[in-house]
Amino acid sequence: MNQNDSLYKKSHFNRLGEFSTLSPESFKTFVAFDRKALSEGKLTAKLKELIAVAVAHTTGCPHCIDFHVKQVKKHRASREEMAESIMVATALKAGSALAHGSML
């Protein structure tokens, strides 16, 4: 695979704004939802970003991992906090595979 064939080029993340033209109402709704979901509420913004880091690692989205790790660092999350959140998500992901295995 040559570099131009890469599915996860960083430059692709910059193209998200194209959805505002291609599907304006849906994109506008998504952006509003995303902002609201990650804004401070009953949970702190830092905790929400730690959750986002953990989920991003289990979904495997490199753009989400990169973005949310940068965001959580702005909230002064430690490497230990990030690692612990990732391990919680990893345990749930592994547990779900085991639970699905019980249906054999």
Domains held by the chain: number: 2
**2 assigned to some structural domain:** no
**pLDDT for res 71:** 97
**pLDDT for res 8:** 77
Q: Is the pLDDT of residue 1 over 90?
A: no
Question: Does one domain contain both 65 and 94?
Answer: yes
Assigned token pair, 17: 């704004």
Question: Does one domain contain both 46 and 89?
Answer: yes
Q: Is the pLDDT of residue 2 over 80?
A: no
Question: Does one domain contain both 20 and 31?
Answer: yes
pLDDT tens column, 67-76: 999 999 999 9
pLDDT tens column, 10-65: 888 788 889 999 999 999 999 999 999 999 999 999 999 999 999 999 999 999 99
**pLDDT for res 17:** 87
**pLDDT for res 6:** 74
Q: What is the DSSP letter of 42?
A: S
Q: Please report which residue ranges of the chain form alpha helices under DSSP H.
A: 10-13, 19-22, 24-38, 45-59, 62-74, 79-101
**55 assigned to some structural domain:** yes
Q: How far apart are CA 75 and CA 77, in angstroms?
A: 6
Q: How far apart are CA 65 and CA 73, in angstroms?
A: 12
**pLDDT for res 13:** 77
Question: Does one domain contain both 101 and 68?
Answer: yes
60 in Cβ contact with 93 (< 8 Å): no
Q: How far apart are CA 52 and CA 47, in angstroms?
A: 9
Name the least confident of 4-8, 30-34, 87-91. Answer: 4-8
CATH number for 73: 1.20.1290.10
